[in-house]
Structure 1
């Protein structure tokens, strides 16, 4: 009887404390995951934002209470299956404040290329866990009827499906957490509420400095809604580069957050985040701390994989990480060999360019000598006219001079033709040998051959499947003073309208980024023919 009274007194005190506290939402509090382990926020993020192949760990200490504070711990491995699919497997422990959920989480995501710059991604998280009371400081008494105790020690299976539409740098998606909630134990447990998670974002490429590599800013707006609970609205911004990242955000329930992280030796990443409540009801709570660490294996695919797969899905070859014990040493040797090979290629390209310039100078000198010869012949003709008394002799000399001029002009024309053909061969060889690294958010398409097109980089203004609109567009460009050109691809039945062909990707990007040097304000993209 005394145990029952003590237990009842404890529960009364616990209820009074809970009545004074703000109710914590029943979720995993994963709204700040934007760099690693972000598949917990939306299952499709494992495809292009978890940086496969990598092993990551994330931990969150909610409000930093000394005893019984709600915490979340997530170990996760993300890997690539095919160029179009990815997976994840991990261990997840989540303290909701009342229950402690501990178990395994499986993830799968797949991409479907829809054409152009548009890709549809679908995925799902499956969480199987053991649920027990988070506070076990008292022992259950069979004489006391407590519904909370009846739900403990349950094995639960939950599923969260997700979908996302990616069009260029813009993306919009949603996930339904707990849409499937199965209690596989003989306990009386109520199913968790379904949580709607909507997200919308845009990637903006930025240049910081050379050492930072390719960088981008990703603003992201999200909404999390659950029945009989306040809707959470949040805004998050991430600045990410190859060596560091900075993020900040706001959540209508949890408040403001700020975090930083760094990547060391191109393999190991570590970061931290702090969250501060601005709600009056949460003013007495401590700040929240999150820690993240990740190790990247080999040369996995990052967010550029999806863009490359969008442009040429059939030609992508997945790069699987090696599992040999000496892979790290071999990678260093391969890296140095690759640097030496690139250096030799640059030297060969410079030598070829010098030879081309020398040939051009020699050809120009030959043309100058030929012109000088023509001038000398003309001068000789004038003198001959003055010296000859016979008109017939003058005409005869003029005829001879004309034939010599024609012969010299033909020789000069042939020389110019040979020079033009040599330049064309050099430009084609340069275009064929160049390797292209696609930048984030860049529209780029590459084919080996295309209906007899000359190798190079074509600045595409538009693509038409209907001849009426194609003719109208060509007419409009010519009316604006441009000289558009086009080609027809039998492979897809489309007419491609391009503004110019370039020998290198740098020239094409410069023309594209400058809006064709201010002459064409609309959007353009690059189409490459390799051979």
Structure 2
């Protein structure tokens, strides 16, 4: 249990430089949790949506991290210009627990008929706690650890951008912008800046409804993370979506894990997703993998306007004309 206590202190207090990388939790399926990684996502999907996700890391390893996040985001009048949201999270590692609450604001700019740019900010409040009364130490008279709880609070701010079109997205964010120094009972500790970037592209197969084939979307994507002084870490995911309802994908995380993700849409409102990854690092002999589950509910969607319908009709007419021209050229 003494090792458990030390592990907990490393994870949350950042006693060593190496441990600082673990101060912000991770999800293997970063696309299902994109709002957690970037505040500029808020309001970009054309829906009001509530999510809850849970990650149980390193099953079978005593004191392993677990992370639960609940969030909501949408846009003002579903117009896709002003986005807002709220996030609640709780992360536990051994005898330590981090809890936080965040507000979110994003503004989306139309750069052209194809591309948009979102800028977002996410201020929040974090509480860091070490529950020493849960520890069973070999030296019960240890004066250093005689207190029942070490507690500290900090203001946490993230900011990011989201450049996107119908099939492409590129986004980056900076976290821990104001929570560099936290005051514990007997000492101060510093938290490092976190940088994240995500890029992805969607390829549509069998998208012509006239061919009456199941539409398939292939989406390769990558997440890049950097926390000083560690080297850059990255995750790569290739996801396939079938009939706009069912999806599956493979995940690779550098120097750490491989995994898979599965999910489905239930009706027009619900989505459920599951992820599993297995660590191939030095911890592989002490744990049985990590599990993730996510539920989302779409509260409201953007109602198509007359302009939207006209755009769809014009697009269909143009596509038909282009096909006719190509057929005439072949003749």
Give the TM-score normalised by structure 2.
Answer: 0.78
RMSD of aligned Cα (Å): 3.9
Aligned position for 2:73? 78
CA drift of 1:292 comes to: 0.6
Deviates more, 1:269-278 or 1:242-251: 242-251
Higher RCO structure, 1 or 2 (CA under 8 Å, sep 6+): 2
Is the aligned partner of 1:127 residue 2:124? yes
Q: Which runs of 5+ in 2 are unaligned?
A: 11-17
Instruction: Name the CA distance, whole Å, in 2 between partners of 1:238 and 1:30.
Output: 15
Equivalent residue in structure 1 for 2:259, among 237, 257, 273: 257
CA drift of 1:62 comes to: 0.4
CA drift of 1:111 comes to: 0.9
Aligned position for 2:250? 248
CA contact (8 A) 1:27 1:96 kept: no
Aligned position for 1:58? 53
Instruction: Name the CA distance, whole Å, in 1 between partners of 2:94 and 2:134.
Output: 14
Instruction: Name the CA distance, whole Å, in 2 between partners of 1:291 and 1:201.
Output: 22
Aligned position for 2:227? 226
CA drift of 1:58 comes to: 0.1
Instruction: Name the CA distance, whole Å, in 2 between partners of 1:517 and 1:259.
Output: 40
Within-5 A mapping of 1:29-48? 29-35=26-32, 37-48=33-44
Structure that is richer in strand per residue: 2
Aligned position for 1:3? none
Structure that is richer in helix per residue: 1
Aligned position for 1:156? 154
CA drift of 1:134 comes to: 5.7
CA drift of 1:197 comes to: 0.9
Instruction: Name the CA distance, whole Å, in 2 between partners of 1:78 and 1:95.
Output: 25
Go from structure 1 to structure 2 and tell me whether the alpha carbon gap of 1:44 and 1:247 turns closer, same or farther (over 3 Å shift). Answer: farther
CA drift of 1:258 comes to: 0.7
CA drift of 1:212 comes to: 9.8
Instruction: Name the CA distance, whole Å, in 1 between partners of 2:213 and 2:122.
Output: 33
Is the aligned partner of 1:266 residue 2:268? yes
SS of residue matched to 1:121: strand
SS of residue matched to 1:190: strand
Q: How many pairs were matched up? A: 313
Go from structure 1 to structure 2 and tell me whether the alpha carbon gap of 1:41 and 1:30 turns closer, same or farther (over 3 Å shift). Answer: farther
SS of residue matched to 2:318: helix
Instruction: Name the CA distance, whole Å, in 2 between partners of 1:145 and 1:25.
Output: 24
CA contact (8 A) 2:180 2:191 kept: no
CA contact (8 A) 1:28 1:72 kept: yes
Deviates more, 1:241-250 or 1:169-178: 241-250
Go from structure 1 to structure 2 and tell me whether the alpha carbon gap of 1:29 and 1:511 turns closer, same or farther (over 3 Å shift). Answer: same
